């Protein structure tokens, strides 16, 4: 398991923050670790920075487990990875076994981090900052919406013409919905996506399938997935939209067989891929393309 309990030192009547500073942590990081219940004196978690500690001090830490994924582009400030489908962008709790951050932290240290995120099942380009300064600059770049992205998706049915969906997006209404689910709602945040059909496959699904290029003009959670579902072109393999809550949870919790996953959602993975990303950073223009053969992966995912 990546999260492990590791021995830090032996305390002898000193305050918690003094002990952590002596172990090399700054005051800010010491407070953060205590707030997150990551520091223990023996078997008991430390509650406050001024707590007097005696005995063995432990810390819950994330131990990276690299699988050998390397960036397809990097410079002194950031790196760009081609994230495979099925991998988290960032750890989602103490029971997380692996995420792309395992690779980022292994290569660049714990000060490096993802600059944005992709859903677990979405594959494609992900930018990682290499240091806190570049992290702030990249975050500002995304907040100002100066990053252009191109996605590709395999969707149900035949799509013949370009179209735009500009429906606002907000959280789901009902308490019994899955927590991460979004909805088209009048009081939601503005969301605009452009869609361009590229290729039709007659023998996939009940009514064929179309590969679509999607260009999001805003960055809402699940924007492409929800806009396509709203326009009656559900993405193959989507475990969330268009399924009953019980089935969706069973897919996301990996409690269904591959056969049943394909039966209910149409594919073994979400057929959505972040293929291109363009932006200006420190006066230099970047246009980076994924090296993953997404079309081949999409088609393989629809077969059992």
Report the catalytic residues.
119
Write out the E strands in 130-190. Answer: 148-156, 163-165, 169-171, 182-184
Cα 72 to Cα 82, 125, 127, 288, 289: the distances in Å are 7, 9, 10, 9, 9
Quick one: tokens of 301? 């995912």
Residue 147 β-bridge partners: none
Cβ atoms of 188 and 221 within 8 Å: the answer is no
Report the C-alpha gap between 178 and 201 in whole angstroms.
Answer: 32
**For the chain, how many residues are written?**
304
Q: Taking the CA atoms of the chain, what radius of gyration do you get in angstroms?
A: 22
- Nearest one of 221, 228, 241 to 196, comparing CA atoms: 228
CA distance linking residue 284 with residue 289, whole number of Å: 16
Residues 147, 290: Cα–Cα separation, whole Å: 16
Distance CA 85, CA 273 (A): 8
How do 123-129 and 272-281 pair as beta strands?
A: parallel
Taking residue 33's Cβ as centre, other Cβ atoms within 10 Å add up to: 20
């Amino acid at each position: 398991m990546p999260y492990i309990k590791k021995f830090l030192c032996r305390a002898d009547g000193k305050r918690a923050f003094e002990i952590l500073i002596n172990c090399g942590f700054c005051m800010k990081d010491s407070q953060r670790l205590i707030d997150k219940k990551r520091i223990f004196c023996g078997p008991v978690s430390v509650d406050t920075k001024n707590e007097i500690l005696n005995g063995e001090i432990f810390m819950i830490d994330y131990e990276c487990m690299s699988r050998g994924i390397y960036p397809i582009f990097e410079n002194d400030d950031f790196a760009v990875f081609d994230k495979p489908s099925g991998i988290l962008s960032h750890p989602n709790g103490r029971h997380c076994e692996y995420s792309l951050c395992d690779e980022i932290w292994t290569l660049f240290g714990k000060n490096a981090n993802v600059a944005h995120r992709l859903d677990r099942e979405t594959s494609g380009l992900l930018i990682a900052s290499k240091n806190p300064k570049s992290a702030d600059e990249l975050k500002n770049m995304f907040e100002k919406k100066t990053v252009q992205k191109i996605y590709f998706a395999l969707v149900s049915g035949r799509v013949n013409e370009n179209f735009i969906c500009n429906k606002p997006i907000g959280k789901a209404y009902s308490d019994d919905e899955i927590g991460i689910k979004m909805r088209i709602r009048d009081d939601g945040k503005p969301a605009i996506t452009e869609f361009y059909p590229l290729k039709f496959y007659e023998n996939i699904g009940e009514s064929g399938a179309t590969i679509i290029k999607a260009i999001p003009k805003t960055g809402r959670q699940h924007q492409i997935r929800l806009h396509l579902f709203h326009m009656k072109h559900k993405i193959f393999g989507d475990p969330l939209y268009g399924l009953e809550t019980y089935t969706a949870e069973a897919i996301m919790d990996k409690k269904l067989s591959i056969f049943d996953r394909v039966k209910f959602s149409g594919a073994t993975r979400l057929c959505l891929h972040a293929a291109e990303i363009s932006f200006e950073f420190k006066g230099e223009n970047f246009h980076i393309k994924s090296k993953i053969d997404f079309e081949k992966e999409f088609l393989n995912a629809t077969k059992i």
